[in-house]
């Protein structure tokens, strides 16, 4: 399988968690496998060690991915980051994601953790060419089959629905940090919450889909994942749950 490039946030625990979600190395109790362990993963650091940074630096990182996509075999770019705003998708980062899609790289972006208010999805998840991912709150039939309370909601600043898909946002993965890493723990697992975790799940599913059907365009990958999603709230596509829960 070709590499899935991830525009990185920090600190190390966050990076390790996102990477191993993409690889499918989750707590065995979840009984799911998201992505083939043979997937090649690479990182392009666009933010500082504390997770802060400028949009221009992230754009530069994504531009580098596009410029090197053929040499590295890049198929998917996971963007577990965001710039909070009621974005209309015309900012420079959204445009960079659209350009990556036009070049053949599937962009998957975290919707953000500024919910449950409306129009809280920020860039790059508001790019027209990205797969915008929110986090699910509960399984259908439960008390709250909807997006999690913290997940950002649509519509976008220009009136589009907002998120495309939901995926689990409360995730426990294998702790693959170096043994020299400091606490919080060395229990063998890492637990994190957020749409960044959900985006990593969807990136893994997108990579699996491309592994099976390499000729799919980014637009076709997005359409396929939306068409096969499981309803997770109101019928149809809505600002809370998009097309529903991603289904691998």
125-170 pLDDT tens trace: 999 999 999 998 655 544 444 567 888 999 999 999 988 999 988 7
- 105 falls in which pLDDT band (50, 70, 90)? very high
As a whole number of angstroms, the distance between CA 3 and CA 193 comes to 25
Q: What is the pLDDT of residue 196?
A: 87
Residue count of the chain: 248
Sequence-distant (≥ 6) Cβ neighbours of residue 228 within 8 angstroms: 247
Which pTM was predicted? 0.81
Q: What is the pLDDT of residue 96?
A: 96
Tokens of 176: 């693959």
On the CB side of 28, how many CA atoms lie within 13 Å of its CA? 1
47-79 pLDDT tens trace: 777 778 889 999 999 999 999 999 988 899 999
Calculate mean pLDDT across residues 97-122: 94
Q: Looking at 41-45, 197-201, 218-222, which range is the least confident one?
A: 41-45
């Amino acid at each position: 399988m070709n590499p899935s490039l991830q525009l990185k946030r920090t600190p190390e625990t966050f990076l390790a968690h996102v990477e191993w979600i993409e690889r499918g190395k989750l707590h065995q109790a979840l009984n799911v496998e998201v992505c083939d362990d043979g997937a090649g993963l690479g990182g392009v650091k666009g933010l500082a060690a504390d997770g802060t940074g400028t949009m221009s630096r992230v754009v530069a990182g994504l531009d580098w991915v596009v410029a090197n996509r053929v040499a590295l075999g890049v198929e998917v770019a996971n963007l577990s980051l965001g710039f909070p705003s009621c974005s209309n998708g015309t900012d420079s980062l959204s445009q960079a994601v659209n350009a990556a899609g036009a070049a053949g790289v599937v962009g998957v972006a975290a919707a953000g953790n500024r919910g449950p208010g409306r129009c809280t999805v920020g860039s790059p998840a508001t790019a027209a060419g990205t797969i915008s991912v929110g986090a699910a709150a509960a399984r259908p039939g439960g008390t709250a089959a909807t997006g999690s309370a913290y997940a950002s909601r649509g519509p976008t600043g220009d009136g589009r629905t907002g998120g495309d898909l939901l995926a689990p946002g409360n995730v426990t993965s294998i702790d693959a940090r170096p043994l020299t890493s400091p606490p919080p723990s060395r229990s063998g697992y890492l637990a994190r919450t957020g749409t960044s975790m959900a985006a990593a799940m969807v990136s893994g599913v997108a990579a699996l889909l491309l592994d099976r059907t390499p000729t799919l365009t980014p637009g076709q990958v997005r359409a396929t994942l939306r068409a096969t999603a499981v309803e997770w709230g109101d019928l149809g596509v809505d600002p809370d749950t998009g097309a529903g829960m991603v289904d691998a």
